[in-house]
Chain A
Amino acid sequence: MTAPATAGPRAITGTVLPAFGTRVGVWTTDASALPAAERILRSSVAEVDAACSRFRSDSDLSRVNAGAGRPVEVSRLLVEALSAALAMAELTAGRCDPTLGAALIAAGYDRPFADIVERGPGPRRPPSPGGGWRDVRIDHRRSTVRVAAGVALDLGATAKGWAVDGALQRIRGALGTAHRTTGLCVAAGGDLAVSGPAPAHGWPVLVGERLDVEGGDGGEPLLLAGGALATTGALVRRWGRGPEQAHHLIDPRTGAPAESPWRLVTVHAPTCLVAEAAATAAWLMGERAPAWLRRHGLGARLVAGDGTVRPLVPPFPATEAA
């Protein structure tokens, strides 16, 4: 997971753009690689959005949800994204469940989050428990997906991480041998992965409560030499007031927004897909998270409800002070 450190931190250049209802970005240690990297990133996220968005009626995922109960022909991209999501459901014993679409809608998340912020959430309905992921059927030869009647897919817990890994791989492939010593970092909505030689002391990454660090807690600076980081918490993507308050982290057992002793969970993993899924699962499993993370060899930083950082599960990227 440790990449050779050959480039200096002053060489880092990058760009950030809106996508997935959040922000995606790419950084390189060689400025000449950035235009091609940005082009590929734009193309990659557009393709993933077209296949996996729950808020586009023309997406493959929306067509599967509309056709629940029968096989629906979809793009290879959705087959791959859903296969990855189901693998993460297995890894997390169902905590990271791709069949929570109905639960999210029941919680009021029936429209893009920007619309919730602007106009308010959809009507609350009785919770809709998950668990339908075990009955999802993928026919790889026919490129079809079938979910049970009444089940709706939502890939919000894995699609960003999966897209980051895919974009990173595509960019690396497109840059070719001419850029074999160029370090790359791709991020989507606060989940990120790096590839190739890191800057001299690692990629400087701020771990925080908000992507807009000016409006958040400022973050803790870390140095990432390799692999991926993903951070989960329920403070940002939430809506409503008082007893009607809700957020996007659903307990699959109840179908309702979950409670957790953790304010933030950041996971370090070999891939962004695993980091994102493990961060969500760890947030949901509460006090059992550190043991589960250790068992899977995943490094993590967990922030308790009162803001204290505890415990730091190794291996996790450290500051120089650590």
Chain B
Amino acid sequence: MPHPGHGARRRLVARVAAGTAIAGAAAVAGLAGDLALTAGPVSPGATAPAGGATDPSGAPPPPIVTAPS
């Protein structure tokens, strides 16, 4: 049975991955390990709609990631 808080965790993780929430909030909640579950991949060539997170469609900007490439 899913934990009652799982929905909120998933939403927060998604927002952090999308750059629309305060990343530290996820760290406080111990969610860093959950990011892989919900953070969408960066699609080459994809363009976030103007406005990003504030766009009425809700489409988030691509996450900002530092990683080996």
Contacts and interface: CB of A to CB of B under 8 A. Distances in A.
Interface of A: 9-18, 22-23, 25, 27, 31-32, 34-35, 38, 160, 185, 187, 189-192, 200-223, 229-237, 264, 266, 318-322
A318 B17 CA distance: 16
Nearest to B16: A221
B69 A320 contact: no
Main secondary structure of the interface of A (DSSP, over half): mixed
B42 A211 contact: yes
Interface of B: 16-17, 19-28, 32-37, 39-55, 61-69
B47 A15 contact: yes
Contacts of A231: 66-68
Given A15-B48, A223-B22, A218 B67 contact: no
Contacts of A217: 36
Contacts of A223: 22-24
A188 to B, nearest CB: 8
Given A12-B20, A221-B27, A223-B22, A206 B64 contact: yes
A320 B24 contact: yes
Given A9-B20, A221-B24, A223-B22, A213 B35 contact: yes
Given A204-B21, A211-B69, A221-B26, A13 B64 contact: no
A11 B61 CA distance: 10
A312 to B, nearest CB: 13
A201 B55 CA distance: 21
A192 B64 contact: yes
B23 A222 contact: yes
Given A204-B23, A321-B28, A16 B66 contact: no
Nearest to A22: B69
Given A18-B44, A218-B34, A319-B24, A266 B66 contact: yes
Nearest to A188: B69
Nearest to A192: B66
A213 B42 CA distance: 8
A17 B53 CA distance: 19
Nearest to A230: B66
B20 A233 contact: no
A190 B64 CA distance: 8
Given A190-B69, A216-B36, A221-B24, A23 B44 contact: yes
Contacts of B63: 204, 206, 213
Contacts of A210: 67-68
29 contacts: A11-B52, A13-B49, A14-B48, A14-B62, A16-B46, A16-B62, A190-B66, A190-B69, A204-B19, A204-B64, A205-B65, A206-B23, A206-B35, A206-B64, A208-B65, A211-B67, A211-B69, A212-B42, A213-B39, A218-B34, A219-B35, A219-B39, A221-B23, A236-B67, A236-B69, A264-B68, A319-B24, A320-B23, A321-B24
A280 to B, nearest CB: 10
Contact of A13 (B21, B25, B33, B48): B48
Given A16-B45, A215-B36, A320-B28, 6 more contacts: A23-B42, A204-B64, A210-B68, A211-B69, A221-B23, A235-B68
B64 A25 contact: yes
